[in-house]
Amino acid sequence: MESMAEVLGRYNPQRPDEITAIKRYIEQEFHAGVSVGLQNDTIVVTVGSASLANMLRLRINNLRSAAGTKKRILFRIG
């Protein structure tokens, strides 16, 4: 029987390209780290401040085109 460490050692999740593109865009434009996740057909972007979330809302079209997606983008502060 395999141990949990062996099973988790083989686990290698692949990030969707959209997540990587969104993180890269925010890092380049705002020099801020964010957490990006995917839930069904919604991309959830968790940011550290309300001001950053508001700026991203204003640039949502740029963010969508940078990610190459038509999915809904949701911003969370946390």
Q: How far is it, in rounded angstroms, from Cα 8 to Cα 5?
A: 5
Domains in the chain and their CATH numbers? 4-77 (3.30.300)
Given a contact cutoff of 8 angstroms between Cβ atoms, the answer to whether 22 and 36 are in contact is: yes
The predicted pLDDT at position 14 comes to 81
Identify the CA nearest to 37 among candidates 47, 48, 45: 45
Q: How far is it, in rounded angstroms, from Cα 9 to Cα 55?
A: 39
Question: Do you know the residue count of the chain?
Answer: 78
Q: What is the pTM of this model?
A: 0.80
Which of 10-14, 37-41, 43-47 is modeled with the greatest confidence? 43-47
Q: Is the pLDDT of residue 1 over 80?
A: no
**pLDDT tens digit string along 42-70?**
999 999 999 999 999 999 999 999 999 99
Helix (H, G, I), strand (E, B) or coil at 74: strand
Q: In the chain, what is the greatest distance between 2 CA atoms, to the nearest angstrom?
A: 53
